[in-house]
Amino acid sequence: MKLVRFGKVGEEKPGLIDADGTIRDLSGVVPDISGPYLSKEKLAELAKLDPASLPKVDAGVRLGPCVGNVGNFIAVGLNYADHAAETNSPIPSEPILFNKARSCIVGPNDDVMVPFGSEKMDWEVELAIVIGKTASNVSEADALSIVAGFCLCNDVSERAWQTERGGQWMKGKGCPTFGPLGPWLVTPDEIADVQNLGMWLDVNGKRMQTGSTSTMIFGALYLVHYISQFMRLEAGDVITTGTPPGVGMGMKPPVYLKAGDIMTLGIEGLGSQRQTVVPYKAG
């Protein structure tokens, strides 16, 4: 099942994608695709619906983030062996964790804004995990039981702030619009092997990233287990799991985003995104 949120910013409604790719309005069934409605039981109820019984949504409607009211937005750094190599970084012995601000989350095709004073804005196509049940100290074997689904994330980054300003990476990771999520939340039953998904990202039509979740150092379910040792995961939390090679920072010379650039990206089975980079705007 593919779940979406559609409509104006702040007024998104829940929906699902039918077999023909049409959005069907779920607002008469659930108020949102968010924490309380991401449990296995709630998702099973939605899966039993006949999509044809739900109102069609007009084509071309804006898609919002595929998860509403995200709580924790957790990210994993240097989690692809080939990406670690391109940045001349050692393979981590344990996952590197940092936070992205929940306020940076936007829809999959919304504009991405250059922050005030930014000089080194970069892209990162990533697989994200959406938690569906509150839990802590979850074993890797049981991790899938608390996963509502998977989605596509662009972990947009400001590299100078991330790596040159001291302290934690979150300085360059949580700027407004730095967390496009979606287009869909895809339930686990639709993903045959989450550790074998092709990934790609283009800038202005030029392929920058080509990769696969098969080169992750720490797999998706291991990450759920690992993170749950240090915090209580809650329904609606999002974990974005790292990026394959091809980021701007790793190029020789480095290449960074500027206003007017267009990013397109996708992951096999999880859909695609398209963002235009726009100048800084206060507010």
Mean pLDDT, to the nearest integer, of 243-254? 95
Band of residue 209 on the pLDDT scale cut at 50, 70, 90: very high
Quick one: pLDDT at residue 269?
98
Q: 60-96 pLDDT, tens per residue?
A: 999 999 999 999 999 999 999 888 888 788 899 999 9
Q: 117-154 pLDDT, tens per residue?
A: 999 999 999 999 999 999 999 999 999 999 999 999 99
- Residue burial 93-119, b: 16+ Cβ < 10 Å; e: rest: eebbbbebebebbbbbbbebbbbeebe
Domains of the chain: 67-278 (3.90.850.10)
Give yes or no for a contact between 9 and 64, defined as CB atoms under 8 angstroms apart.
yes
Mean pLDDT, to the nearest integer, of 246-273? 97
What is this structure's pTM?
A: 0.97
Mean pLDDT, to the nearest integer, of 239-264? 96
Quick one: pLDDT at residue 94?
97
Q: Is the pLDDT assigned to residue 101 strictly greater than 90?
A: yes
In DSSP terms, which residues pair with 16 in a beta bridge?
A: 3, 24
